[in-house]
Amino acid sequence: MKNRSATKNRIGRKLKRYWPLYVMLLPGAVYLIINNYLPMFGLMIAFKKVNYEVGIFRSDWVGLSNFKFIFATNDAFVMFRNTFLYNLAFIILGNSFALIVAIALDTVRKRFLKNTAQVIILLPYLLSMVIVTYVVFAFLSPGNGFVNNSLLAPLGMDPVEWYNDPRPWPVILTIVYLWMNFGYTSILYYSTLIGIDKSLYEAAVMDGAGVLKQITYVTLPCMKNTMIIMIILAVGRICYTDFGLFYQVPMHSGMLYSTTQTIDTFVYRALLEQNSIGRSAAAGFLQSVLGFILVMAANALVSRFDKESALI
Amino acid sequence: MIIKSKAFYTTAYVFVIFLILICVIPFWLLIAGSVTSEAELLVHGYALIPKEVSFSAFEFLWQMKDGILQAYLMSIVISVTGVSASLVLTTLFAYPLSRKDLPGRNAISLFLFITMLFNGGLVPTYFVYTRLFHIKDTLAGMIVPSLLMNAFLVIMMRTYITSSIPDEILEAARVDGAGEFRCLLAIVLPLSKPILGTVALMTFIAYWNNWTNGIYYIQQKTELHGIQNYLKRIMDSATMLQQQLASSINMDTRSIPTIGMRMALAVIAVIPVLAVYPFFQKSFVQGITIGSVKG
């Protein structure tokens, strides 16, 4: 009896001391519940046939039929293939290019050039996908584009109907992605690079190391952890793509689906353009669940390399 | 690195200049395209050096300034509201999490972390917002979904508070009788100015550039759209430019310089970003490097 009232007393004292902190947490917690937790439960839509008359909650369960629906056509194969392959290309090319840029930035000694470059390479990252679409259009517009008129025509080549031909898009989208994102990744790597102890380089030079030897024996080993973490975390997000890059930049041209459709664009189109909730929900469900498994696996891997950098 | 090889140094030098060029040239192409005469554009397309300079594209844009200004105004309203609300939510969540003595702190952190690991995706989110909260075609549809609070920014701020504000200061304030809200307002906020600036900047960019909320949640009331959605609508429909103009002036729509006007519109949308960016570049880089290290 005495013990219980003592515990009660302690909790009471704690509450009295900490209640303002819990009040502060409240608005954010409500937002996370609405924005993140309710949709998690909403994933069950993938197993239902939504009927607005009775509401989503009371709609009939239909088992796996929504999933059978997307796997019955080529849709599932195309969107999963595109999502994985694009991400793979972005991870490999994006990280190696950013590393080269970071080394180049470190090499250049002219202060002015170094600083200007650091400011300017981040510019593309600041643009919205809509503006990027305008930029890409200025290059690829079939009638007035820079590529057809100023590059292909002088070489005597025929103009290309860029927005109707799916073949060049894997290259185009990879270039656009790299253009937008290399600055961000490079600056990140550069900030690790300038942290490398200078005496390591001095020691290497004493041993007769040239530039390439310094890169392979000092720079790369020092960068290894940062790079591995960046890559693993990116692999954890391999089910997700930038919706704008794959939807808006190709101007949602139907002719390009075979090389521009990813899970995100499929989910959007099925939901809001074709009003096919079942297919959309099924694809979204696979993305969420697969994405979760991959993120957890990636995190487990990261924490083996470096406990500090893992999310949990 | 210690570089004795002249060839390597020159290569790096040339490469960095090349990087600057590939970042600048596309912007240059937009600007050049916007000041080239329509006749020239019809023959030679968008070129880096305009053979015949003309500002008629901008003159025509002036005719439809109402629509553009309205979209700009909406972008400002959305971004300012969003950033303010977001700063309040983020700070209020980050400060208690920074307190090591808070009972249940680990559970609350986990509650936050889970949102970074797992999410319901577009379909359930869309239904929660449209069916449960009915924000379709309201201003809240532009502001609330997905952008209001970012777990990464909360963690960034928590880490900053933990590492740069000594517990002793807060303890001393409490001994003097200050409550938690008082501590937050009088001590934590003034000492967190740098991180508040970075959070505000990152959130502002996210709001200013956002157009996905506009297509998910605003379909009828397009006057709620900001500048990005306005530009998107014009890009999507070749005839919208002409319709917009035909409604405001009486003239033959075929003589409207639509090719140049597209670029002029993009230029008008990009200028504010380019104008403001140099002043915030430091904060922005800080956001990139701190955000990545997580903490």
CB B102 within 8 A of CB B161: no
Residue B293: predicted pLDDT: 46
Q: Which of A22, A100, A144, A148 to mutate to test the interface with B (most CBs of B within 10 A)?
A: A144
d(CA A188, CA A201): 21
Which letter does DSSP use for residue B131 in this model? I
Chain B residues whose beta carbon lies within 8 Å of the beta carbon of residue A215: 1
Among A7-11, A18-22, A42-46, A116-120, name the one with the lowest average pLDDT: A7-11
Q: CA B157, B161, B167 angle in degrees (round to 5)?
A: 160
Confidence band for A177, pLDDT divided at 50, 70 and 90: very high
Q: How far is CA A96 from the centre of its chain?
A: 17
- Nearest by CB to residue B16, choosing from A27, A113, A288, is A113
Nearest CA in chain B to A199: B1
Mean pLDDT of A136-149: 91
Q: Do B123 and A35 touch (CB under 8 A)?
A: no
Q: Which CATH number fits domain B63-293: 3.30.70.2470, 2.60.40.10, 1.10.3720.10, 3.40.718.10?
A: 1.10.3720.10
Mean pLDDT of B28-53: 89
pLDDT value at B295 more than 50: no
Mean pLDDT of B267-294: 78
Nearest CA in chain A to B215: A272
Domain ranges, ordered by start, for chain B: 1-54, 63-293
Q: Is A22 on the interface with B (CB under 8 A)?
A: yes
Q: B-contacting residues of A 70-99, CB under 8 Å?
A: none
- Cα of first residue to Cα of last residue in chain A, in angstroms, is 40
Q: Which of B275, B259, B287 is nearest to B42 (CA)?
A: B259
Which letter does DSSP use for residue A138 in this model? H
Amino acid at B252: D
Nearest CA in chain B to A135: B26
Residue B208: predicted pLDDT: 93
CB A171 within 8 A of CB B73: no
Q: How far is B83 from chain A (nearest CA, A)?
A: 14
The structure's pTM equals: 0.91
pLDDT value at A300 more than 60: yes
For a pLDDT cut of 70, what percent of chain B falls above it?
A: 92
Q: Is A108 on the interface with B (CB under 8 A)?
A: yes
Q: How far is B251 from chain A (nearest CA, A)?
A: 24
Q: Do B128 and A42 touch (CB under 8 A)?
A: yes
Q: B-contacting residues of A 130-159, CB under 8 Å?
A: 130-131, 133-135, 137-139, 141, 143-146, 148-150
CB A128 within 8 A of CB B211: yes
Tens digit of pLDDT for each residue in A182-232? 999 999 999 888 888 889 998 998 888 888 889 999 999 888 888 888 888
CATH architecture of structural domain A65-309: Orthogonal Bundle (1.10)
* Per-position DSSP letters for A223-265, written without gaps between them: HHHHHHHHHHHHHHTTT---HHHHHTTTTT-GGGHHHH--HHH
Q: Which of A126, A149, A227, A247 to mutate to test the interface with B (most CBs of B within 10 A)?
A: A126
Confidence band for A86, pLDDT divided at 50, 70 and 90: very high
Residue B287: predicted pLDDT: 76
Q: Do A244 and B212 touch (CB under 8 A)?
A: yes
Report ipTM (2 d.p.): 0.90
d(CA A13, CA A126): 49
Q: Do B235 and A137 touch (CB under 8 A)?
A: yes
Strand, helix or coil for residue A188? helix
Q: Do A244 and B215 touch (CB under 8 A)?
A: no
Q: How far is B246 from chain A (nearest CA, A)?
A: 23
Q: Is A282 on the interface with B (CB under 8 A)?
A: no
Domain ranges, ordered by start, for chain A: 2-49, 65-309
Mean pLDDT of chain B: 88
Q: Residue B218 belongs to what H/E stretch? A: none
pLDDT value at B272 more than 90: no
Mean pLDDT of A141-155: 90
Six-digit token string for A47: 């197993």
Q: Is the dihedral of CA B288, B292, B293, B295 positive or negative?
A: positive
Within 8 A by CB and 6+ apart from A303, the residues are A309, A310
Chain A residues whose beta carbon lies within 8 Å of the beta carbon of residue B127: 42, 45, 56
